[in-house]
Amino acid sequence: MTPEQVTLVQQSFQLVLPIKDQAAALFYGRLFETDPTTQPLFARTDMAAQGGKLMAAIALVVNNLANPAAILPVAQDMAKRHVGYGVTRAQYGSVGAALLWTLGQGLGAAFTPEVEAAWTAAYTLLAGVMTEAAYG
């Protein structure tokens, strides 16, 4: 990621934070609609709590984008736990698409092509690290 892309992701995430609960609900709704294989994995999950965990994890990644090595072990451990939840490699693609769609909904006109490209780069980086740690 370029330094400009890191700034774009960090700035646009600040705009989503005030509506993070709605954004999380929108995200899971979209994910379950576009990839129904994901819904059964959350059958016994408190989705309000899960939304909070997801946003906290995204915030951690966003805040450390300039130095991804700092959170590499955290991302790798998280990915290994996800194998235990039954998550597949393909589902990382579904999550990425739902995340970008949610950002588009939440940011509106602020979701410029540059912002979209920056978030795509950030998610690709994270998903690459996680799927490599989980599935090789």
Piece in contact with ligand HEM (CB under 6 A), picked from 14-22, 63-71, 79-87, 105-113: 79-87
The DSSP letter of residue 1 is -
CA 54 to chain centre: 7
Instruction: Answer yes or no: are the C-beta atoms of 38 and 32 closer than 8 Å.
Output: yes
* Piece in contact with ligand HEM (CB under 6 A), picked from 7-15, 18-26, 76-84, 112-120: 76-84
The residue among 55, 75, 70, 60 whose CA lies nearest residue 134 is: 75
Q: x/- binding map, residues 28-47, to ligand HEM, per CB under 6 A?
A: ----------x--xx--x--
Cα distance between the two ends of the chain: 23
Q: Which residues contact ligand HEM by CB under 6 A?
A: 38, 41-42, 45, 50, 53-54, 57-58, 78, 81-82, 85, 87, 91-92, 95, 126-127, 130
